[in-house]
Amino acid sequence: MKSLTIIFLFLVHSMMYGQDIHWTQYNDNPLFQNPGNAGAFQEDFRFIANYRNQWRSVTVPFSTNSFSADTRYKNWGLGLLAFHDQVGDGKLRTVECQANINRPINLSILPNHTIRPGVNIGFNYRQINWSSLYFDNQYNGYIFDPNAPSNESFQSNSKTNLSLGLGLVDDWKYSNRLTFHSGISAFNLNRPNQGFYNQVVLRDVRWNIFTKASYALTSDWTLLPSFQYSRQGKYQECIVGGLARYAFSTRDKVNLYGGLWWRNKDAMSLNIAYEKGPLYCGISYDVNFSKLVPASNARGGFEIAVKYVISRFKPKQIIHRVCPDFI
């Protein structure tokens, strides 16, 4: 193959070794964060939709969609997650469906703690559109003709595999005003092969560590600081920041959120959110300050998260008492 084709294949090969998708509003995609998060909420059912659009000012934007649903059944946390990701001129698509399960455990040696060990199983499908890419054979010595044949022959344009993951989450109620939610997880433990060619291209293990706290300053104001560290192969990411929540109406459960996030050597993110009853909607925008600033003009990614929770109707239990007979 000629030089341009070799360079392209090198770039594709690098993408195969690249990161899994990532989110700025990582706390609003709990199943992607840790299988131990499935069912870890007060209500009975939870549905979350996420959308992220990144690098629109630089190249063909990276577009990611995600949807999850989780609940509890007989003291088991159960959750399903599906996401679709598309990047680059070659429209490299990743579709993944994951099942998550965990079991809450209360240990006498750790009072006020609930431990949730969890398991993750995922089915991954990747596809690339070779016809959308350009090769050196389409340059005739004078001009580049995208309609000219590339004269390239590729063995496959898709790949499927299974992935396995484990996670552990700890809920700690330190006091009535202060609680912690922390966890560690590892995905792709079986390191599935995701190469499009005969050579083996292993998917790196993705490690994730997070912790977040909730501290009630007053009856109206609550601080929600958090931290997440992720590592996959040679890539690593650290996000730290938090939100402040203001209870606009306690009776109608109307809450307003606002805060900032800092991603190490990459971006600063502004996050605002609105919550009313069972519905929550959060929006964030990344302001890029990495080495890509000359191309990105400091514009990074836009992200939205929508959550809806459902509580079963639980009729009030009526206790009948027998009046004493003094006759």
12 pLDDT above the threshold of 50: no
Question: Is 172 domain-assigned?
Answer: yes
Neighbour count for residue 13 (Cβ, 10 Å): 15
115 pLDDT above the threshold of 80: yes
User: What are the angstrom distances between the C-alpha of 32 and each of 119, 206, 219, 246?
Assistant: 12, 11, 32, 27
Task: Please give the Cα distance from 116 to 37 (Å, whole number).
Answer: 8
3 pLDDT above the threshold of 50: no
Q: Looking at residue 11, what is its pLDDT?
A: 41
Q: Which two tokens stand for residue 70?
A: 């989780």
For the chain, where are the alpha helices, taking DSSP H only? 3-16, 30-33, 293-296
- The mean per-residue pLDDT over the stretch 74-81 comes to 96
265 pLDDT above the threshold of 60: yes
Instruction: Render pLDDT for 200-225 as a digit per residue (tens, 0 to 9).
Output: 889 999 999 999 999 999 999 999 99
The tally of domains found in the chain comes to 1
Task: Please give the Cα distance from 216 to 223 (Å, whole number).
Answer: 6
Question: Is 323 domain-assigned?
Answer: no
Q: Poorest-confidence range of 97-101, 140-144, 270-274?
A: 140-144
Structural contact between residues 55 and 88, judged by C-beta atoms closer than 8 angstroms: no
Question: Is 187 domain-assigned?
Answer: yes
Task: Please give the Cα distance from 197 to 119 (Å, whole number).
Answer: 30
89 pLDDT above the threshold of 70: no
Instruction: Render pLDDT for 127-168 as a digit per residue (tens, 0 to 9).
Output: 877 666 666 676 766 777 666 666 666 666 788 999 999 999
User: What are the angstrom distances between the C-alpha of 141 and each of 52, 171, 290?
Assistant: 40, 65, 37
295 pLDDT above the threshold of 70: no
Question: Is 22 domain-assigned?
Answer: yes
Structural contact between residues 212 and 223, judged by C-beta atoms closer than 8 angstroms: no
Q: Looking at residue 13, what is its pLDDT?
A: 43
Question: Is 18 domain-assigned?
Answer: yes
Q: What is the pTM of this model?
A: 0.83
Q: Looking at residue 324, what is its pLDDT?
A: 61
% the chain with pLDDT above 90: 57
DSSP 193: B
Q: Looking at residue 99, what is its pLDDT?
A: 98
Q: Looking at residue 158, what is its pLDDT?
A: 80
User: What are the angstrom distances between the C-alpha of 163 and each of 180, 225, 231, 260, 313?
Assistant: 29, 31, 17, 33, 37
Torsion of CA 22, 25, 28, 34, to 10 degrees: 40
Q: Which two tokens stand for residue 147?
A: 């309609």
Give the mean pLDDT of the chain.
84
CATH number for the domain including 222? Answer: 2.40.160.40
Ramachandran region of residue 27, left (φ > 0), alpha (ψ -120 to 50) or beta? alpha
Q: Looking at residue 180, what is its pLDDT?
A: 97
- The mean per-residue pLDDT over the stretch 238-242 comes to 95
User: What are the angstrom distances between the C-alpha of 126 and each of 29, 156, 180, 232, 313?
Assistant: 21, 11, 37, 18, 42
Q: Is residue 150 helix, strand or coil?
A: coil
Question: Is 8 domain-assigned?
Answer: yes
Of 325, 288, 280, nearest to 306 (Cα)? 280
Confidence of residue 290 (pLDDT cuts 50, 70, 90): low
Residues in the chain: 327
Question: Is 316 domain-assigned?
Answer: no
293 pLDDT above the threshold of 60: no
- The mean per-residue pLDDT over the stretch 277-295 comes to 80
Q: Which two tokens stand for residue 266?
A: 């990459």
**Residue 110, domain extent:** 3-310
Q: Looking at residue 314, what is its pLDDT?
A: 64
Question: Is 318 domain-assigned?
Answer: no
Q: Looking at residue 92, what is its pLDDT?
A: 81
Residue in the structure block whose two tokens are 């996050």: 271
Task: Please give the Cα distance from 93 to 45 (Å, whole number).
Answer: 30
* DSSP-assigned letters across all residues of 278-307: TEEEEEEEEEE-STTHHHHTTEEEEEEEEE
